[in-house]
Amino acid sequence: MRFLWNKQAFRLFAQNAFNRKLLSVCAGLFFCFCAALFMVSATCSSDAPEKGAWSATPYPLKEPEHFVKMLMPSDNPLTVEGVDLGRQLFFDPLLSMNGAISCASCHLPQNAFSDGKAFSIGVNGQQGPRSSMALANVGYYYKGLFWDGRSKSLEDQALIPVREPHEMNSDWSMVELKLRNHPKYPELFYKAFGIAEPKEITRFLAAKAIAQFERTLISANAKYDQVLAGKATFTEAEARGRMIFFDASDELPKSECGHCHVDPLFTNLDFFNNGIQQVSSLEDFPDKGRGKITKIKYDNGKFRVPTLRNIELTAPYMHDGRFKTLDEVLEHYISGGHSAENLNPNVRQLNFTGRDKSDLIAFLKTLTDTSFIHNPAFKNPFTE
Amino acid sequence: MIKKLLFLLASSGLLLAADCNDNEPIGSVLEINFKGTFDNAPLVMYESAYPYEAGMAVKLQLFQFYLSDIVLLKEDGSSVPLSDVALISFKDILTPAAAAQGITLNTSGIPAGHYTGLRMGIGVAPNLNSTSPANYTPPHPLDDNYWSASSGYVFIKIEGNADTSGNGEFPAKLTFHTGANDIYKEKTFQKHMELKDGALLQLNFNIDLKKVLSKGGSDFLDFRQVTQDHNNNPSIYTFIATNFYDALSLE
């Protein structure tokens, strides 16, 4: 080793042609080594977390035993960090064009994640064409999202409101830039998804995080559930209303509610024409609903059966919010609805007394889950 | 030299893989097809109006039923299970072409051999009827159609409209939902079948809905009198269940 560092010896060595060639190879190797060393040191000295060290904590989702099992996409498992990021994004108006509208603007926890309006209001006061759907138990919806089922998954659904003109009226490329240059989000995305650099933040990861948060929005602790669990009892009116709801007694009138509002979700997730719109033909529905998506004329005027869980908190009712109260809703069903070729035959004239109505409404109110709307895990993180 | 070696290794790997596959019986594929008809006319939802008894006519929106414990019967008396439960729904049959295609259940990997027939339960077998959607991850045949008030599944659903006065209007709303352990019944269909490895065999079943609603003569569900039953009236739901049993046929 000393030989190499002796100048004279080095000169003699270099004069030899063979040795000169060997020297050039050694120099090349030394250069490569230095370059690699530089790259490694540069990586280590940067603030970016080391790749491969990332891991996220599985989210301990407590699924109610009396519910169907939630369908979890294999490419978006629930993690504590993912759900936390999703919650931040859900409540953050940064997603909208003017920084004024968040997902939570139309899905408020106190309204069981609906908004109390007939038609939702987006940026600059623009009115949407339909009422905001409640999000309780939305993680169980596997027959499509929205009133017309146009999105196949929560991940697909979460991409849409950002670019809808009457909702957030923004542009995902712009939102991605805002998230990448945000003082907080790059770290949150790293924790949730292990990204190496802010530029890896994409709309798809944002949608995944929002979907994760939405899958945690489980409402299964209403009085109805407590009665099922033997922890509470129905009043006489509630019990009678339950029998009417499920057509469970030959002594009581039938409401036909339970055909579509199947428990435990109180929706079968399907799409029906429930006769709220009077039309002369199937082509005349002002909002074609499901038919606009499937292009099948018999789907015109069909809309998703909404959940009745927390129904007391989600007025006004129907896709266009035409009914302000549960009493109005019942009056509609008692009438038998407007005829149409595709009117669901389960919607038929009912023979109800005033007591039948009030008892049925008493039962419906047992589906109110106050622990759901007051759950601190679902609250706006920016106001804590 | 190295390239040659790699080629040899890859070739021998392929040969080994092919050899392994050859040793495993691949079985045969059985397609069980169900076609719906109404008095022998293709059963189409919404679009078609079907003449019924006493000058009435009907239009359908939904016709579906459960089948359970579908097995192939072997010559030695043993059986090969094909499916625990299946929901056959004509809900999306909206054109004559779709009706001609029918609803198909595919089963594969069935051991080659001679079979004498097929057996299936009409409805949801009692062991499954005691479960609920909470036992399943959607999509699953039993994730829906549960009747919590009866703690069981709706085996057969028939929904539509009737013209009861022969004037071309269909104001009467029909909803017949049946299901209970006491109307669950197994039916055996005799047919000699030879299944060969790698081959496909198709079995074609027919269910004629008019035969479910009517036995002919004066023995039919009179929609001028009754338009719904949700397992409330035994004379109606057993009529439907018995007729269904008779109407399901193997062609």
> Kind of pairing, strands B172-178 and B228-229?
parallel
Residue A352, CA distances (Å) to A358, A367, B50, B99, B250 in order: 10, 21, 33, 40, 46
Question: How many Cβ atoms are within 10 Å of A237's Cβ, its own excluded?
Answer: 16
Q: Please give the residue of chain A at the shortest CA–CA distance from B160.
A: A345
pLDDT confidence of residue B23: 56
Residue A76 CA, distance from chain mean position: 13
Asked if residue B4 belongs to a domain, the reply is no
Whole-complex ipTM: 0.86
**If we measure between CA atoms, which residue out of A304, A274, A299 comes closest to residue A288?**
A299
Q: What is the Cα–Cα distance from A181 to A138, expressed in whole angstroms?
A: 31
Confidence bin at B25 (pLDDT 50/70/90): low
Asked if residue B18 belongs to a domain, the reply is no
Contact A313, A112 (CB under 8 A): yes
Q: Tens-of-pLDDT digits for all 384 residues of chain A?
A: 333 334 443 343 334 444 444 445 444 544 444 444 444 444 433 444 555 689 999 999 999 999 998 999 999 999 999 999 999 999 999 999 999 999 999 999 999 999 999 999 988 888 989 999 999 999 999 999 999 999 999 999 999 999 988 899 899 999 999 999 999 999 999 999 999 999 999 999 999 999 999 999 999 999 999 999 999 999 999 999 999 999 998 899 999 999 999 999 999 999 999 999 999 999 999 999 999 999 999 999 999 999 999 999 999 999 999 999 999 999 999 999 999 999 999 999 999 999 999 999 999 999 999 999 999 999 999 986
Q: What is the Cα–Cα distance from B125 to B87, expressed in whole angstroms?
A: 13
Contact B54, B222 (CB under 8 A): yes
Asked if residue B83 belongs to a domain, the reply is yes
Asked if residue B12 belongs to a domain, the reply is no
pTM higher than 0.90 for the full model? no
Asked if residue B84 belongs to a domain, the reply is yes
Q: Which 3 state secondary structure label does DSSP give B206?
A: strand
Please write down the long-range contacts of B162-170, taking CB distance under 8 Å and 24 or more positions apart: B162/B52, B162/B56, B162/B57, B162/B58, B162/B59, B162/B223, B162/B227, B163/B49, B163/B56, B163/B57, B163/B58, B164/B56, B164/B223, B164/B224, B166/B55, B166/B56, B166/B57, B170/B49, B170/B57, B170/B58, B170/B59
Question: Closest partner residue to A296 among B94, B133, B160, by Cβ?
Answer: B94
Asked if residue B92 belongs to a domain, the reply is yes
Instruction: Name chain B contacts of A247, Cβ cutoff 8 Å.
Output: 149, 230
* Cβ contact, residue pair A69, B137, below 8 Å: yes
How many folded domains does chain B comprise? 1
Contact A348, A332 (CB under 8 A): no
pLDDT of B200 above 70: yes
Residue A112, CA distances (Å) to A115, A132, A136, A381, A383 in order: 8, 11, 6, 17, 18
Asked if residue B14 belongs to a domain, the reply is no
* Residues of chain B numbered 107-146 and touching chain A (CB < 8 Å): 132-134, 136-139, 143-144, 146
pLDDT of B28 above 80: yes
* Cβ contact, residue pair B138, A347, below 8 Å: no
CA distance B204 to chain A (A): 28
For A187, what's the count of Cα atoms within 13 Å in the CB-facing half-sphere? Answer: 4
* Cβ contact, residue pair A263, B148, below 8 Å: yes
DSSP A247: T
Q: Which 3 state secondary structure label does DSSP give A50?
A: coil
Mean pLDDT of chain B: 90
Q: Please give the residue of chain A at the shortest CA–CA distance from B61.
A: A342
Instruction: Name chain A contacts of B45, Cβ cutoff 8 Å.
Output: 298
* Cβ contact, residue pair A342, B148, below 8 Å: no
Lowest average pLDDT, out of B100-104, B148-152, B230-234, goes to B148-152
Q: Any chain B CB within 8 A of the CB of A69?
A: yes
DSSP A311: G
Phi and psi for A9 in degrees, rounded to 5? -60, -40
Q: Please give the residue of chain A at the shortest CA–CA distance from B143.
A: A68
Q: Best residue in A141, A249, A259, A265 to probe B by mutation, most B CBs within 10 Å?
A: A259
E-strand ranges in B2-102 read 28-38, 41-42, 49-51, 57-74, 79-89
Q: Any chain B CB within 8 A of the CB of A250?
A: yes
A·B CB contacts under 8 A: 67
- Find the domain containing B213 and state its range: 26-250
Q: How many helices (H) and strands (E) does chain A have?
A: 15, 2
* Cβ contact, residue pair B175, A346, below 8 Å: yes
Question: Closest partner residue to A246 among B134, B144, B148, by Cβ?
Answer: B148
CA distance B251 to chain A (A): 31
